[in-house]
Amino acid sequence: MTIAPEQEAAIFAHFHDVHIDHDNIAHYQGLMDGRLLINRCADCGFWIYPHRPMCPRCRTWNVVPTQVSGRGKLYMWTLIYQSRDPDKPLFEPILTAAIELDEQPGLRYLSRVVNIPAEHLQHDIPLQLTWIEERGRRWPAFEPATAGSD
Ligand SMILES: [Zn+2]
């Protein structure tokens, strides 16, 4: 996937505090556009996350950022109590999770979980993609799936 230099500059400026490289820049461009993109092998269809340029199953470099359905289930979660930025302390813990996406067993995207208290979480509950605003940026998050959302 080729990204024009002016687009690259906009992505780097928007995510100025994120480590962006050749392997994940399309993912972040997707976030700016409100789309969750995960690399997928165009030869064998294998989904690849964390972002890597080569398919670990068939070893091709023919990997294409591809939009996922946004549906999955809760695999594991934790509460983060410490801010990464010492100038911005957390006033409530952040619920962070690995969500196993419906696209492929074992494809687990790391994200926030919102709109559910932590004490109500259970392994394998169905989740759906939503978006949250934080410090002027839009981020993917997951919330309990609503009936008939699929
Ligand atoms: Zn492959």
Domain segments of the chain as ranges: 5-67, 71-144
For the domain 71-144, what is the CATH code? 2.40.50
Q: Which pTM was predicted?
A: 0.89
Query: In the predicted model, what is the mean pLDDT of residues 28-57?
Result: 96
**Cα 137 to averaged position of ligand 1 atoms, centre (Å):** 33
3-state secondary structure of 57: coil
Q: Is 6 helix (H, G, I), strand (E, B) or coil?
A: helix
- 63: CA distance to ligand 1 center in Å? 8
Cα-to-centroid distance, 106 and ligand 1 (Å): 15
Spacing, Cα 64 to ligand 1 middle (Å): 11
* pLDDT per residue as tens digits for the range 136-146: 899 999 999 99
Express each pLDDT in 65-108 by its tens digit.
999 999 999 999 999 998 877 787 888 899 999 999 999 999 99
Mean pLDDT of 47-52: 95
For residue 104, give both structure tokens: 């492929």
Evaluate the CA torsion angle 35, 36, 41, 46 in order and state its sign: negative
Q: What is the 59 CA–ligand 1 centroid distance (Å)?
A: 6
| Residue 60 tokens, joined | 């091709």
Query: In this predicted structure, what is the pLDDT of residue 1?
Result: 63
